[in-house]
Amino acid sequence: MSESIAAVVLRAAELIARGLPRKAIELLQPALVVNPLHGEAWCRLAAAYLDAGEPDPALNAAKRALVLDGDPVWAQRLTALALSELGRHPEAVVAARECARRKPGDWRCQVVLAEVLANSPEGPREAVEVAREAAHLAPAEARAFQVLGDAALRVRDWGTAERAYRTALRLDPDADDVRANLATVRSKRGGAPIPPPSGEALHAAHVLVWPALSRLAALLVAGGLVLLLAGMPKPTPLLGAFSGLLVVACLVVVGLLLLKARRGVRRALLRLPAHRPKVAIVATMFWLSAVILAGWSVALLVGATTMQPLVVAWLCALIGGAVVVLGGGR
């Protein structure tokens, strides 16, 4: 049975990491009915309740874990966080200090103490110093620097907050909440814009976008040529419908690209043209071609008979396609 509960705990941890605390709770509750003495499972349940915004049952689960075999420091951290969420700040500070006393070299204890102090009425200043110690103990952990930035933000220490958030973003470029807080700090200071995406994110975006540009080149160049041949000597409204379908196909390619990209890479995609000139040229040409095609499609459907917009759209597509072919994705 111990293997079974261990597998449940592991699965619950995966669900919490994926942002599904409610499913983790539903998985753990029946397992704990059968195995009520499994301390780690109670800790996972407490963590899931905290992520779900339910501090009352989180506190109960953490207290159960405190009296069982397992990691008492983990249970102490969860207890402190639950008490803080419930507004019981003095008790939360006591629990967090006890956690830090038991394991002074554990950066997670220092992070929890900093969070609890930052939420208490008289602790924000001390929270900054405790968070500094957490960042010193764990220089490769984005969470430690995020908490330092949050604590500094509360006391309006803009310089410390900005440095901490920038370090956190360097360690975890996908942290949207950190990026938003950094923007807040910079707006308060009247500083420069948010740092650009990392080189790794830009490279990943470039690797992802070039095949999509190749597909767009094939659609617009080949499709435009077919439309040119079919539209001579005089285009018809039916041709406008086919031209509209070509524009829709291009939009589908772009949509699939955005769906495929992770959050950090998706942001890098939007800023990639500023860092990759060839991507900027190709994107501009294809955008012009698609816009002109869309306008020409509408014009044909309402009775126009001109071919000139199609020629311009095809030339734009041809220029972008040539850059794609010659660039080779490098």
Q: With CA atoms as reference, report the closest residue to 261 among 213, 209, 217, 330.
A: 209
Q: Average pLDDT, stretch 147-159? A: 90
Which sequence spans correspond to the domains of the chain? 2-189, 199-327
CB-based contacts of 12, cutoff 8 Å, min separation 6: 24, 27, 28, 41, 44, 45, 48
- pTM listed for this prediction: 0.54
Q: Does residue 221 or residue 204 have the better pLDDT?
A: 221
Neighbours of 330 (CB within 10 A): 7
Q: What is the pLDDT of residue 199?
A: 66
The pLDDT-based confidence of 141 (bands split at 50, 70, 90) is very high
Angle between helices 89-102 and 72-85 (to 10 degrees): 160
Reply yes or no on domain 2-189 having CATH 1.25.40.10.
Answer: yes
Q: What is the CA radius of gyration of the chain?
A: 28
Please, what is the average pLDDT of the chain?
86
- List phi, psi (to 5°) of 198: -65, 160
Distance CA 128, CA 188 (A): 19
CB-based contacts of 130, cutoff 8 Å, min separation 6: 100, 110, 113, 114, 117, 151
Percent of the chain whose pLDDT exceeds 70: 93
- List phi, psi (to 5°) of 122: -115, 15
- Minimum mean pLDDT among 127-131, 190-194, 210-214, 238-242: which range? 190-194
pLDDT for residue 279 is more than 90 = no
Q: Average pLDDT, stretch 306-310? A: 89
Distance CA 30, CA 20 (A): 17
Q: What is the pLDDT of residue 198?
A: 62
The pLDDT-based confidence of 192 (bands split at 50, 70, 90) is very low
- Minimum mean pLDDT among 171-185, 237-251, 316-330: which range? 316-330
pLDDT for residue 163 is more than 80 = yes
The pLDDT-based confidence of 1 (bands split at 50, 70, 90) is very low
Tell me how far apart the terminal alpha carbons of the chain are, to the nearest angstrom.
55
The pLDDT-based confidence of 133 (bands split at 50, 70, 90) is very high
Cα→Cα distances 51→30, 61, 156, 197, 266, Å? 19, 13, 27, 28, 25
